[in-house]
Structure 1
Amino acid sequence: MLNVHRMSLLREVASRGSIAAAAEALYLTPSAVSQQLSTLEREAGVELLERVGRGVRLTHTGTKLVAYTERVLAVLEEAEADLQAVSEGVAGQLRTCAFPTAARALLVPALKRMRADHPLLALSMVDLEPEDSLPMLKTGDLDVVLTYGFDRLPERPDPGIERHLLLTEPLYIAVPDTDPRATGPAKLSDFRDDNWVVGRDGSPFLDVMIRVAAEAGFEPRVELHSNDYQVLLSAVQAGLGIALVPPLAFFAQYPGVVCLRTSDVQINRRVLAVIRRGSGGRPAVEAALGVLRDVSREAVARYETLVPLAG
């Protein structure tokens, strides 16, 4: 019979692209992972990986086995959720994570409520970007992760996770209030010659900026990079450039900064709670999703009033 642990190792290699990356994520040595995968191949009776240069890739059979692995792991999550519902209720451990903006605006208030409502639940939190938190969710190191996406960027399907939409918010153009265009709605194309402060290389925030600028007919001129909206807003305040920002970024006041609605290109950011497929029946996870929905509804109404809109 196939070993589920070894199957999950194969899934990790498929997800991360190499044995070395999978080993690092799982705190194992590459040789230990290779040995386990060789044993899995003997159990399966077929080759699951093939050499490509200095790396490996899944064979057709290996890809099929990963798809089965996703289904098996989801069923196991459902079984554990059912058992916990009977034996524990909202108790045990819940490991949460969010990107920094959502950690401050959504996750911290949600954890405060959960601690008051469920004193038997041990809560933990760390703030990470989605590219770091989602792999940890899939390996079982986290239980609930807050991520984000943009309506201009396609969402890659992943059978191992479930995404739950918490809120959708617009992105505004943040400019110094001394800018002569800071009087009301403006076209993104009006800012083709400005310096933009954008996300780091490889981040969805940078990708969406490039995408919407292309739709508006220009390539953004970029000198400053940061994934921290507070850094972006400080740079705008200092006159170093302009930036796209959502309402959740405005937990503090930035005198001298105003926001403009875009009239030619509409840009929205989605904030999502992500869990392992099948784990939604766990009482702690179910409770967390409910509280996060409530907190998100309240946050949309509160933060929208804090945006310093022009006009």
Structure 2
Amino acid sequence: MIEIAALRALVAVEQQGSVVAASEAMGFSPSAVSQQIKKLEKQSGVTVLERHGRGVLLTDRGMALAEYGRRILGELEELQSTLLADPAKPSGVLRLVAFSTACRGLVGPMLARVAASSPSGRGGDGPRRGGDGPGLEIRVVAEDPREAVQAVASGESDLGVVHNWHSVPLVIPENMVHEDLCMDTADVLLNADHPLAGRTAVEPSDLVDESWISTPAGAICNEALLAILAGLGRVPDIRIYDPDFSTHIAMVQMGVAVALVPRLGRPELPAGVVAVPVVNPMQQRQVGIVYRKTMTASPSIRHVVRLLREVAAGLDA
């Protein structure tokens, strides 16, 4: 009889592309994953992997078995998250992945609400144990949206908070559900002494000669910045690359660059830094949540999604 753990190892190798990557995703050693693959080959009577240079490739039968394995694991996940779960009591471990500003602006406040509902939490005059609700444990990892989508699609995470700039579409795999959560607007941050700092709004044509600080090349927010001037046939003069928006704000305060920074999770701007909206077009990103279709009716997923919506509604207000 084929064991579920062995099937899970094969599916992870197929999704991650190697035994080493699969072991990292599963939290096991490479030798443990290899042992599960060997066990699967013995149980099924077929060779599922073959060496290719320093790596491995799935055989034709291995690909077929992985496809069956994905379906079986999906049905098992759906069974565990719905029929075997108490809809009135979200429980278990929920692995959440979100981009950094969403961690500050949405996930943090959501965790506070979960903690407030925990019997183990303290009253309003004392600390609460963050992330634990009644039987529900939430673990959070910060990743950019593309990596977050991949983590949820492959089963490494259960729920993702992602963003989708209108100018840089985010591709959602067919095995996943995407729900809109809120709209987030980005402003250009300027030093208070900058000639444009007194404007109520600026257009892309006003920004063609500026020196910028940006998130790293290839990041979605970097691509959104490039798109601002694309219609003018120009490329932003990016002098500094840094993934942390706090650094962007500091550089603007020092007067060495301007920056495009979303409002979600943005700290209070220090003296000397001014936020000016960009119009024609307005710079906005749609913030949403993603999860696998097999988790649609999961009490834990629905509970956390509901809390995230409450936090987002408060931001809109």
TM-score (norm 2): 0.79
1:25 matched residue in structure 2 = 25
Please give the secondary structure, in 1, of the residue aligned with 2:296: helix
Distance 1:31 1:268, change over 3 A: same
Residue equivalent to 2:193: 178
Shift of residue 135 of structure 1? 5.7
1:230 paired with 2:246, answer yes
1:110 Cα deviation from its structure 2 partner = 1.5
Contact 1:151 1:269 in 2 (8 A): yes
Residue aligning to 2:224: 208
AA in 2 matched with 1:273: I
Q: Structure 1 stretches of 5 or more lacking a match?
A: 302-311
Quote how far apart the aligned CAs of 1:136 are: 5.4
Moved more, 190-199 or 3-12: 3-12
Q: Distance in 2 between matches of 1:162 and 1:299?
A: 23
Offset of residue 46 of structure 1: 6.0
Report what 2:72 is aligned to: 72
Moved more, 269-278 or 100-109: 269-278
Aligned AA for 2:138?
S
1:103 counterpart = 2:119: no
Q: Which has the higher helix share?
A: 1
Q: Distance in 1 between matches of 2:223 and 2:254?
A: 24
1:42-84 Cα shifts (integer Å, max 9, x gaps): 6666665555543344566655554544433332222112234
Distance 2:16 2:232 in 1: 34
Shift of 1:93: 3.9
Q: Are 2:202 and 2:276, in contact at CA under 8 Å, matched by a contact in 1?
A: yes
Q: Is 1:163 the counterpart of 2:178 in the alignment?
A: yes
- CA gap of 1:229–1:93, structure 2 versus 1, over 3 A, is same
Q: Give 1:289 shift.
A: 0.7
Tell me, in whole angstroms, the C-alpha distance in 1 between the residues paired with 2:68 and 2:303: 29
For the residue of structure 2 that corresponds to 1:248, the secondary structure is coil
Give aligned pairs, total.
Answer: 301
Gap regions ≥5 residues in structure 2: 120-133
Match of 1:307 in 2: none
Letter in 2 for 1:174: L
Asked if the contact 2:158–2:292 (Cα under 8 Å) also holds between the matched residues in 1, the reply is yes
Which amino acid letter does the alignment assign opposite residue 151 of structure 1? Answer: H
Counterpart of 1:300? 316
Instruction: State whether structure 2 residue 159 is matched by structure 1 residue 144.
Output: yes
Is the counterpart of residue 129 in structure 1 residue 143 in structure 2? yes
The alpha-carbon deviation at position 298 of structure 1 amounts to 1.3
Secondary structure of residue in 1 paired with 2:264: helix
Q: CA shift at 1:21, angstroms?
A: 1.7
Q: Percent identity?
A: 30
User: CA separation of 1:89/1:27 partners in 2, compared to 1, >3 Å: closer, same or farther?
Assistant: closer
Residues 30 and 240 of structure 1, relative CA distance in 2, 3 Å threshold: same
User: SS state of the match for residue 171, structure 1?
Assistant: strand
TM-score with structure 1 setting the length: 0.80
1:257-290 CA-partner distances (Å, limit 9, x unpaired)? 2233333444322222233332232222211111
1:229 and 1:249 in contact (8 A); partners too: no
Secondary structure of the equivalent of 2:268?
Answer: coil
For 2:292, the equivalent position in structure 1 comes to 276
Q: 1:246 aligns with which of 241, 262, 278?
A: 262
- Give the residue type in structure 2 aligned to 1:233: I
